[in-house]
Chains A and B, each alone.
Chain A
Amino acid sequence: MAEATVNTSAAPAAATGARAHEPSFVYLVKDALATGAIALALAFPLVGFRTVDRGSTTIIETRFGQMFLGVAVIALGRFAFSLIDAGYARAILAGSGVLSVAWLLLVAVDPGGAAIFPLGWMSWMLVVSVALRAAYVSWGDRSEARGDAVSPGDRVAATVQRLAVFFGPVLLLFAIAMPLLPMADQRWVDLGILVLTYVMLGWGLNVVVGLAGLLDLGYVAFYAVGAYSYAIIAKTFGLNFWEALPMAGGLAAMFGVLLGFPVLRLRGDYLAIVTLGFGEIVRVVLLNWNELSNGPKGIGEIPRPSFFGMPFTPAPPQGVTSFHQWFSAHLWEIGFSPIQRAVYLYYIILLLALLTNIFTLRIRKLPIGRAWEALREDEIACRALGINPTNTKLTAFAIGAMFGGFAGSFFATRQGFISPESFNFIESAIILAIVVLGGMGSQIGVVIASIVLIGGPEWFRDLESYRMLAFGGLMVLIMIWRPQGLLAFREPTILLKPKAGPP
């Protein structure tokens, strides 16, 4: 096979470093300039001006410096990318690699040095992204020349999936031990809670999107329903968290069925649009139905979770033992600290997330779970096999919504205050991004994607206002290298001989 392709014109070129055709520099320069011109046309109104509030008047400031800088970066980046594609990948790799290392060294010598560069850390990230692309092109071409069907990314993903057998428990042990580690301060535990909340939401949405293949852009609606149900039930009936939780989950599941009915016959884009609308409707209703939801002011003083009836407060009312008093009396002496409640919340969300995961792993092996996956693959074949698509879709919506509702209840009890503000479309988008980036249907992928997407912006905090830009850049990079998601490698649910893995 390899010999047969040598005679085609592309093969020798690929073998000698991918110099597909001699690039005309004039053409590349023109191309880069044209890109810059388009960027300029876009940036002129968007970046070039900004409005500033000066007391009673609004004035317009110009930012042409920043604008030209950005345009220059885009044109240069385009030029670098076309050089890479024209067969100079190695040269660009060397150049950008040296530049980025030099940049790091400079900053290491003088920590304030990053400020010299016009975009701070961003300039480094840009150079690194060029280097990564160059590396990818030179490596990617090589594996093609060898005739490998499976890309290196796929092999890594398959390995990670297989290692998940060991990696999963390690991650779990870390998650259990994390709040007890010496480095775990309030910030760490809070970040852990945040990441775990999104892991749970990701796992819940994974049932709908990953397994059943129903693109749901309004998942935040169920998160909101869960949060408001919990807040209202707990406040009105004086129930505690564990009593109100199943009711909130059940209500969210009912909303899942409610959404499911009208969209039964929709697929793909149309389904996405209707679910998006559903998410907005729920938010707008919450915003306007003052009697129920207290409108934009939101609901406050939501009961905080208590540890078997013991609250986490420094000075509990007469006759009530608070957690730290009980702990001091029975185990060892501790004072009150707000971190105790944070740690408790952390374990609650860990437990809820694990429940979601175990449930999903189990149900994948049951007929209903298999029907979900089959429905994602081929609805007509499903019908021919006696699957009832209506029930199958509705259960997927209901169960996904139920987990969203649980997560919402947790959110409400953790915050103590909720308002429609917290349930914007952007939340749906983030949760969906977690599922898609994780590789639809991959459980461990959701964990990794949550850590990257939720933890990432926190780690990029030093970048200050460029934080979201860096975050967006990271997403673009993932989309370039793993458009199918980080771990899009489906584990079979049934193997006859335990050792006989997929070939």
Chain B
Amino acid sequence: MPSATIRPETQYATLHQQGEAAQLGMWVFLATETLFFGALIFTYYLYRISYPEAIAHASEDTVLWCGSVNLALLLTSSLTMVLAINAAAQGRRGAAMALLLATIVLGFCFLGVKGYEYAADYSDKVVPAVNFTLKPGEPPASELFWIYYFVATGLHAIHVTTGLGLLLYVFWRLRQRRVTAAYYAPIEVVGLYWSFVDTVWIFLFPTIYLAGRL
């Protein structure tokens, strides 16, 4: 039996206890992440209230289709992710690996679209301190929007990249049969993280792309 080789670490009595600890650990970590992104979104609303026109004006210059495609990509990847967890829990290893691979591909597509969008932003001269020119009639405070945009999407992209690294790691562990129906906490925990990354985008999307368009 390959699953017999998985043993709990010394501080745990059972694999079940180890899995529960890992899950709680990820939930606690996501609580800190919520405060981290929450603080950033708080700064956004501060300036949104202080300079409603400037923020709306700047928001119209974002590339809506890039943001929307990326929203679709991430939402789909969350679906394949939970299906992968489900398959792993039922011991369908091949299906779990295929679904995990789909999640990884969707994640890379997200980063590709994001990179394209950054290039478009650069030629649109909206990168603060690097390549920034106010458009005629645009209020100066719109620069604050673009700081928020690059810090928020940049941090989010780092999180997506981290998530992809974790997904590849779990994929490798599945291949090694070190994640099985008897102990699938690793894929579950990574799934939690991936859902969080998805959720952050759901919150960033309206603040960035819809502020000036509604």
Bound pair: A and B?
no
Which B residues contact A (CB, under 8 angstroms)? none
Which A residues contact B (CB, under 8 angstroms)? none
